[in-house]
Amino acid sequence: MIKSLAVLGSTGSIGVQALEVARLHNLKIEALTAGSRVDIIENQIREFSPAVAALADEKAAADLKIRVADTSTKILSGAEGVKECASCGAESVLNSIVGIAGLAPTVAAIEAGSDIALANKETLVAGGKFVMGLAKEKGVNIYPVDSEHSAIFQSLQGCASKKQIKRLILTASGGPFFGKTKKDLEGVTLEQALNHPNWSMGAKITIDSATMMNKGLELIEAAWLFDMEAKDIDIVVHRQSVVHSLVEYVDNSVIAQLGVPDMRIPIQYALTYPDRFESPVRQLDLTEFATLTFEKPDYETFACINLCRRAIEKGGVYPAAVNAANEKANELFRQGKIRFLDIADAVANALEKAPHNDDYSLADVFETDRLIRTQTERLFI
């Protein structure tokens, strides 16, 4: 097991659970970062005594610096400060920042030679080509934290060759609006969209689950992580979130990973691989579930899934574009400025408007992100 860890996004849903796992296994925390939550990170600094910590928000960082002046933790600020923490050289850097803001820190951590425990799926969606390429070049491992990808990673243990994999099957809970028609979704409120049936998560991903954009992003994430074509990745709605995803082999044998829906299992496995240790997660009692169900997604009502599929098939900066449009539209919906169904329209618009560019650089990814965010805002305001 690793001994030292940095947690980026430590005040969020995944970050707090990652620190719970770290506490249980006495991992040395080298660095902590967050956006602006001074109160939470102050407590974390006092408990874990990292050498360095950063807040992306400059004002919040200045406040934090005063509050923890009595500790030995060095406080940095802004996106540069977060990147510096990511480069701290810990054995593993767990990235649970939300959104594209996680991409540059991931790159910085790989450059510094740390293994990556990756929750921040937007990193791979937008910058998959560069992140996977750089990791290979630096001999760095990227371990998935996203539960579906962890399930696939676990189901791949013992696979002798990639040629033996026929298909990846991602399961989806279906979110709070499963079974609804597009008409039903016209007037849904933020509160209804935030009411996820199985998982308690940050606000952005909870809305992504309601639109099922989350599954589209995960399809792209899986394509990069496991070097698979989108056509060989299927999606199945599984309402109970017990089967976390599956791998089908060439002999039609299917291997799945099961467990109660609790992110501390994938978080821990990303830090302890290839070993397993006891965890605080409760045992799975299959008899608690009368039935486990599997159904086809409704691709018409949840248009974002296939928009993402098209984006990765088109390649280039299209995945970065759909991600950017979704991030902006998701935010506007949470601010009460647009309607729920506008999110998918924004994503469709980005797929149409993004520049075609097969020979793209990381700078093009960031430029596309900026451009599509501006365009998305203009669509509605």
Which stretches of the chain bind Mg ion, using CB under 5 A? 146-148
What angle do helix axes 318-334 and 362-380 make, rounded to 10 degrees? 40
β-pairing, 165-172 with 243-249?
antiparallel
Among 2, 5, 6, 11, binds ligand NAD (CB under 6 A): 11
Give the range of 3-11, 230-238, 278-286, 321-329 binding ligand NAD by CB under 6 A.
3-11
Asked whether the beta carbons of 33 and 25 are under 8 A apart, the reply is no
In the complex with ligand NAD, the residue whose CB is nearer, 198 or 357, is 198
Residues 21-40 that bind ligand NAD (CB under 6 A): 34-35, 37
User: What's the min distance (Å) between Cβ of 218 and ligand NAD?
Assistant: 9
β-pairing, 233-237 with 165-172?
parallel
**Residue that is written with structure tokens 């030995």 in the block:** 72
121 touches ligand NAD (CB under 6 A): yes
The three-point CA angle 303-306-307 to 5° equals 80
Which one of ligand NAD, Mg ion, none is in contact with 82 (Cβ closer than 5 to 8 A by kind)?
Answer: ligand NAD
205 touches ligand NAD (CB under 6 A): yes
82 touches ligand NAD (CB under 6 A): yes
User: Residue 54 pairs with which residues in a beta bridge?
Assistant: 33, 76
In the chain the first and final C-alpha atoms are separated, in Å, by 50
Side-by-side strand order, sheet with 142-144: 74-77, 52-55, 28-34, 4-8, 92-95, 115-118, 142-144
197 touches ligand NAD (CB under 6 A): no
In the complex with ligand NAD, the residue whose CB is nearer, 324 or 358, is 324
- Integer Cα distance of 185 and 193 in angstroms: 10
Which one of Mg ion, ligand NAD, none is in contact with 241 (Cβ closer than 5 to 8 A by kind)?
Answer: none
Residues sharing a CB contact under 8 Å with residue 374, sequence separation 6 or more, in sequence order: none
Which one of Mg ion, ligand NAD, none is in contact with 73 (Cβ closer than 5 to 8 A by kind)?
Answer: none
Among 6, 14, 332, 371, binds ligand NAD (CB under 6 A): 14
**Which residues of the shown chain bind ligand NAD in the complex (CB under 6 A)?**
9-15, 34-35, 37, 56, 82, 96-98, 101, 119-122, 146, 199, 201-202, 204-205, 263
